[in-house]
Amino acid sequence: MSRRWTRPELAARIDHTLLDAAATNHEILLACEIARRNHCATVCLNSNRIAMASEALQGSDIGIAAVVGFPFGASHVDAKAHEAALAIADGATEIDMVIDIGRLKDGQLGPVRADIASVVAAAAFHTVKVILECSRLTDDEKRTGCALAVEAGAAFIKTSTGYLGHGATLHDVALIRAAVGPTLGIKASGGIV
């Protein structure tokens, strides 16, 4: 049975996101203010903007999510871990990392698991969301990616970056839920199609 969500209940589950590489300081500060005014769960930004957001949101209850390895997931494993650690040091409260899509498609499960685990470790007990990029994966690859994220200690699976194909689909959300069970979070991202 469905229920009606109030505006505050819904806003508290939304990450207000600004990941445009050309976003100006003014636009970043505006995104922080929009997240604060609407009581969003977080503002989600590129990692180089986290210190600014941390200062702007000081004293608020708005979380700050930093993307890592964004948007392609093809960064060196050490670079992703370092980027996550720097973002946490700058004030990020959670990390959204892009899975190594090519290695997952190649079936290189050990390196993909290690990639996720390195970011989880670098995040130092902060929430890590693993972005699968569902539009680029088969259903079996999505299930495998979910299993690797669970094994590596991630807290959420995220459907997409919004940059490499379609956004979230009901099919993908249901598939992810079946793959990870009831305890891991799911972030439907990139627009619902």
Residues involved in catalysis: 96, 158, 187
- DSSP codes of every residue in 59-76: TS--EEEEEESTTT--S-
Query: How many Cβ atoms are within 10 Å of 181's Cβ, its own excluded?
Result: 9
Residue 138 Ramachandran class (φ > 0 left, ψ -120 to 50 alpha, else beta): beta
Which distant-in-sequence residues (6+ apart) come within 8 Å of 85 by Cβ?
122, 123, 124
Nearest to 101 by CA among 11, 165, 47: 165
87/66 Cα distance (integer angstroms):
6
Q: Read off φ and ψ for residue 39, nearest 5 degrees.
A: 55, 45
